[in-house]
Structure 1
Amino acid sequence: MMSESVALVLLHGHGVDASIWDGIYAGLSTDARVLRPDFSRLTNHSTIEAYAEDLYGRLQNGQVDKCAVIGHSMGGYIALAFAEKYPDMIQGLGLFHSTAFADDEPKKEQRRQVIRKLDEDGTRSFLETAIPNMFAPDNRDAMSEKVHALIELNSVIPPQALQAGIRAMLSRPDRTHVLKNAAYPVLIVTGQHDQIVPPEKSHELAEMAADTELVVLDASGHLGMIEEPEQAQAAIRQFVDRL
């Protein structure tokens, strides 16, 4: 049973909204307070720090003083920035298909190209490429209904919101020091077939924090909460149980 004294904050990634956690939310919220803030349609943030400040405001409004924060992909970048500024609020930190490393220059240029393409082609075209790439290659056909459902659901996200998120990601600094200095447990979840945040990077991160748990989802790409929901839920539950 998860501790009711721990507020669990689940942060979604880029190109999707907070419903990305739907498959595991019910199982996590039966005996704990679980919050799923949604940043997907915000167009006014241009840095990861701004998203982290937004999160702080929401937690203050919800009277949350301490929490475990688990971020998926871009959500992990927000979680790291939040933990850097508000370490006393953190009971546990989770990177779910995410990284503490900054983008290298080729990745930054790729993101700049995507920003330009969003001006030309809009959200749906972006998602028709981005969403399938989040799944493990073997899952793209096997889970084609889920792929298409995610594209449909998130096609309402304004392209300006996607561009804001991309600008924030490409300008974010390296935050490996947050892991190295962590005075709280750290969970790192990686997909064996993740082509966006390769598992090798997650293994490298797992060596940094003093108290780290690394979970490898063997059949997942970048969306373990959808590709292997039972295993993803179990990993988070077990992590929160010991906080």
Structure 2
Amino acid sequence: MSRLSVHVRDPQSSDGHQGTIPLVLLHAFPLDSRMWEPMLAELGDLPVVTVDAPGFGASPPASQLARSLGCPIAPSLRTYAEAVASALRAEGIERAVVAGLSMGGYTALALAEQHPEMLAGLGLLDTKATADTAQARATRIRMAERVTGALGTRATAPMIDTIVGETTRRERPEVVETVRTWLAAAPPAGVAWAQRAMAGRRDRLATLAGLSIPALVLRGAEDATIGDDDVAAMARQLSDADVVTVPGAGHLSALETPAAVARPLRQLWQRAAAAE
């Protein structure tokens, strides 16, 4: 059976956390699980699992996963969520704290809707629970068409100006260059599938209202794509949510300011572990 590529931190290094729930991290579009590497050291001894999205990193194409899981072939974040649930269970993980950034957050919301029993805690980082506007959907479909045409991955290059914050562009050139390199190397088929899947997602604010688990809603203060109103809308629906704004970070907050994002994620994990 085809499965997503998952990267499990050695439980022997978790210093007393063996047998506890892991922290599962779902990356942003159009990157892969490498985006979490700067933050892993900041998380210390926590048991952490990172996942490559369909068609990204070492994961198989979405169409292959859909056939294996018996899901519709049409691009959908529901397929991604089912693939996450299947991959975690294959690792013996039945419950976890799941945190996603941007597209990873959309997928965490789909997982909360489809498999709420698996979530001990939920982290929503630089993401939102509402559906795209008609204009945003059209923009996604246009990129999906361009990236699989003659332009290729050059279609993703302008994203650097919106997904990386102003402070990072000014003071952290190494982060900017890393993101630029990853954008250029993004797999066209994976980019197209993900854009179409995100364009088709629906409003999941009601999903949040049905959860009674510890949650974190976090936003980089310089995020040009997620606003304070998006954060407030999600926080209002959650019964036990910490709300954090990270100074000097844009949309890729976990990559831009890993220590500042790791702290509230660790606190989320601690709250969830204590409630289990």
TM-score by length of 1: 0.93
Cα distance in 1 between the residues matched to 2:234 and 2:152 = 34
Report what 2:40 is aligned to. 25
Residue matched to 1:35: 49
Q: Report the 3-state secondary structure (helix = DSSP H, G, I; strand = E; otherwise coil) of the residue aligned with 2:99.
A: strand
| Alignment counterpart, residue 109 of structure 1, candidates 131, 138, 157 | 138
1:202 to 218, 221, 231: 231
Instruction: Report the 3-state secondary structure (helix = DSSP H, G, I; strand = E; otherwise coil) of the residue aligned with 1:64.
Output: coil
1:66 aligned residue (95, 109, 132)? 95
Please give the secondary structure, in 2, of the residue aligned with 1:190.
Answer: strand
Runs of 4+ aligned structure 1 residues displaced above 3 Å come to: 1-4
Distance of 1:93 and 1:215 partners within structure 2: 14
Cα deviations by residue, 1:159-211 (Å, 9 ceiling, x for unpaired)? 11100000000001111111111121111011111111123211221111111
Instruction: Determine the structure 1 residue equivalent to 2:23.
Output: 8
Q: Does 1:235 align with 2:264?
A: yes
Cα distance, 1:231 vs. partner? 1.0
Q: Cα offset for 1:2?
A: 9.4
CA distance in 2, matches of 1:126, 1:2: 46
Structure 1 residues 36-115: aligned runs within 5 Å: 36-39=50-53, 40-41=55-56, 42-44=61-63, 46-115=75-144
Select between 107-116 and 93-102 the one with higher mean Cα deviation. Answer: 107-116
Aligned equivalents of 2:264, 2:239: Cα separation in 1: 19
Partner of 1:217: 246
CA–CA distance in 2 between the matches of 1:2 and 1:102? 41
* 8 Å CA contact 1:197, 1:222 repeated in 2: yes
Using CA pairs under 8 Å that are at least 6 residues apart, name the structure with larger relative contact order, 1 or 2: 1
CA RMSD, 1 decimal: 1.7
Question: C-alpha distance in 2, partners of 1:132/1:18?
Answer: 21
Q: Unaligned 5+ residue runs, structure 1?
A: none
Q: Distance in 2 between matches of 1:156 and 1:227?
A: 19
**Pair 1:193 & 2:193 matched:** no
Offset at 1:36?
0.3
2:211–2:239: 8 Å Cα contact kept in structure 1? yes
How many residue pairs are counted as aligned between the two chains? Answer: 241
SS in 1 for 2:243: strand
CA distance in structure 1 between the partners assigned to 2:118 and 2:190 by the alignment: 28
Aligned identity (percent) is 28
Q: 1:85 to 1:190 in 2, by over 3 A?
A: same
1:54-104 deviation per Cα after TM superposition (whole angstroms, max 9, x unaligned): 101110110001100000100011111111111111100111101111111
Whether the aligned pair in 2 keeps the contact of 1:68 and 1:91 (CA below 8 Å) is yes
- Corresponding residue for 1:120? 150
Q: CA deviation at 1:43?
A: 4.3
Specify every segment of 5 or more residues in structure 2 that has no aligned partner in the other structure, as ranges: 1-14, 67-74
Distance 2:205 2:100 in 1: 15
